[in-house]
Amino acid sequence: MGSYKISVIGTGYVGLCTAVGFSSKGYKVLAYDKDIQKMDSINEGIPPFFEPSLKELLQKVVKDNSLKCVPDLNEAVMNTDITYITVGTPSKSDGSINLQFVNQAAKEIGAILKKKQDHLVVIKSTVVPGTTEHMVKPLLEKHSDKRCGTELLLCVNPEFLREGSAISDTLNPDRIIIGEHDERSGNVLEELYKEFYHVNMPPIIRTTLSSAELIKYANNAFLATKISFINSIANICEKVPGVDVRTIADGVGLDKRIGRAFLNAGLGYGGSCFPKDVKALIAFSKSVGCDPVLIKAVENVNANQPYKAIELAKETLGNLKGKKFAILGLAFKPNTDDIRESVAIKIIDKLLEEEAKISAYDPAAMESTKRHYTNRINYASSAIDCIKGAECCIVTTEWDEFKQLKPENFKHMKTPILIDGRRIYEIKEYNNRLKFLPLGLGR
Ligand code: UGA
């Protein structure tokens, strides 16, 4: 049984995985969300989104009574020692982040802390540098009538979990970053993690509030840079006979200073994090008088990358009007049902503009896609069903299920043009079979 009681405010990806992570190790966790339906569903052991192993773990911790959603923020904060703020920070139209939910949480938690001493508030939401120092701290102090560092404790603790492996990332992080308002605040959070990870305690960096906030953005921007970098190289590879970007990435990736991870060329990055965080870092850079030349280039490369698939299709099919497309993959990456900023959606939108006909399939994201497109596209019941009769198939997500497909599985296409947008197929297997035209990005 953990010696700290924890509350988590906001039950999105980060909040729910944090809550389940702590409660799975015996900590008493109270979660709160403004969305009552979401809380009811969590209390019934049903996660509001698909994430491998989350459901099993959630059902266990709900049954054990170690995780409970409570409808009253006061109850969550007053009955715990540490409160994590994990509310959303969506993009505004200019790319900067909307801090209204963090602002509101800080005010409400501050007012509750009027009646409570030495409570630690931890910002886990992704916020631009200075937010905790200049917005959260003054709000907490004003509404609680207490000073941070003496009667109140405050830290920033960014989260690095990936969708699709969120639970294992929560339980085995590469490092822990603690931005501390003062030493005592940092000590309490470090103690909690030492107890939680015990012999598996990852490396820890303790720093200022703003440094911790910037580490999160720098981390995501660097990973996005690796992706846009390798996609730029892929685009060069396409113009040079006999060159394949996968081999280039393997060669470069063996340099220990670089590493092979995040050098998979393809249709670009999507999801709820990289696109939003890269935009927010650009907007933040500008706001402090720095021209973010490199980060803007990363974003530009990524904005064009999905349309490489359409260019390839046009090169072989000409006008796309009335042509039948099979889209394999709708989620922004495998093992999730999340279609936010998914490249598949960008490609489908463009194909619809060109008046092409679309059949789509994804092992997990059919429901969210149906809500998005209603009857504007066709929904297949399987990968094979999706491919049947198509004139061109575009693989947009590297699900294992699609990796299992063999050239024979594509034999019921009208014209066997396969655009491997995630480079999951071995070209040798496809060449000379069924008059296949396999087109891989970066080859
Ligand atoms: C990302 C980071 O990896 C996490 O560390 C971070 O905590 C999270 O954002 C966040 O800020 O919340 P996530 O968006 O879940 O996690 O997924 P990634 O695995 O990073 O993939 C993002 C996108 O990049 C996907 O569309 C993926 O297909 C693409 N990608 C990834 C590539 O195109 N090539 C690669 O080599 C790797």
pLDDT in tens, 288-321: 999 999 999 999 999 999 999 999 999 889 999 9
Spatial neighbors of 93 by CB under 8 A, at least 6 apart, are none
For the stretch 183-193, pLDDT in tens is 999 999 999 99
pLDDT for position 426: 84
Mean pLDDT value across residues 98-112: 98
**What does the angle CA 8 – CA 11 – CA 13 come to, to the nearest 5 degrees?**
115
For the stretch 49-96, pLDDT in tens is 999 999 999 999 999 999 999 999 999 999 999 999 999 999 999 999
- Smallest CA-to-CA distance from 85 within 213, 202, 171, 275 is with 213
Cβ of residue 223 lying under 6 Å from some atom of ligand 1: yes
The Å distance, Cα 53 to ligand 1 centre, comes to: 19
> Contact 366/379 with Cβ under 8 angstroms?
yes
Cβ of residue 394 lying under 6 Å from some atom of ligand 1: no
DSSP code at position 91:
B
- Which atom of ligand 1 is closest in space to residue 342's alpha carbon? 26
At 442, the pLDDT band (50, 70, 90 cuts) reads: confident
Residue predicted with more confidence, 12 or 429: 12
**Measured distance CA(171)–CA(335) in Å, rounded:** 18
| Shortest-distance Cα residue to atom 5 of ligand 1 | 160
Tokens of 162: 């990936």
| Catalytic annotation, pick one of 69, 237, 273, 386 | 273
pLDDT for position 80: 98
In 199-324, where does DSSP find H-type helix? 209-237, 245-253, 274-287, 293-304, 307-317
**Measured distance CA(121)–CA(110) in Å, rounded:** 10
- Which atom of ligand 1 is closest in space to residue 397's alpha carbon? 28
For the stretch 326-346, pLDDT in tens is 999 999 999 999 999 999 999
Mean pLDDT value across residues 97-115: 98
The Å distance, Cα 243 to ligand 1 centre, comes to: 26
Cβ of residue 161 lying under 6 Å from some atom of ligand 1: yes
- Distance from first CA to last CA of the chain, Å, rounded? 54
The Å distance, Cα 185 to ligand 1 centre, comes to: 31
At 175, the pLDDT band (50, 70, 90 cuts) reads: very high
- Beta strands 67-69 and 82-85: pairing type? unpaired
At 436, the pLDDT band (50, 70, 90 cuts) reads: low
pLDDT for position 221: 98
- Smallest CA-to-CA distance from 82 within 26, 161, 3 is with 3
**What does the angle CA 348 – CA 354 – CA 359 come to, to the nearest 5 degrees?**
40
Is pLDDT of 219 > 60?
A: yes
Cβ of residue 325 lying under 6 Å from some atom of ligand 1: no
Q: For the chain, what is the largest distance between any 2 Cα atoms, rounded to a whole number of angstroms?
A: 75
Is pLDDT of 148 > 60?
A: yes
**Residue among 97, 333, 341 to mutate when testing ligand 1 (max atoms within 8 A of CB):** 333
Point out which residues pair with 348 in neighbouring strands.
none
The Å distance, Cα 269 to ligand 1 centre, comes to: 7
DSSP codes joined into one string, 12-67: SHHHHHHHHHHHHTT-EEEEE-S-HHHHHHHHTT--SS--TTHHHHHHHHHHTTSE
At 429, the pLDDT band (50, 70, 90 cuts) reads: confident
pLDDT for position 284: 97
Cβ of residue 275 lying under 6 Å from some atom of ligand 1: no
Tell me the average pLDDT of the chain.
Answer: 95
Mean pLDDT value across residues 122-131: 98
Q: How many residues does the chain have?
A: 443
Is pLDDT of 360 > 60?
A: yes
pLDDT for position 433: 55
Mean pLDDT value across residues 228-249: 94
Spatial neighbors of 238 by CB under 8 A, at least 6 apart, are 441, 442, 443
Mean pLDDT value across residues 252-277: 97
Mean pLDDT value across residues 11-19: 97
pLDDT for position 443: 79
Cβ of residue 228 lying under 6 Å from some atom of ligand 1: no
| Cβ burial, residue 332 (10 Å; 0-12/13-18/19+) | buried
% of residues, the chain, pLDDT over 70: 98
pTM of the model: 0.96
Active site residue 393: no
pLDDT for position 430: 72
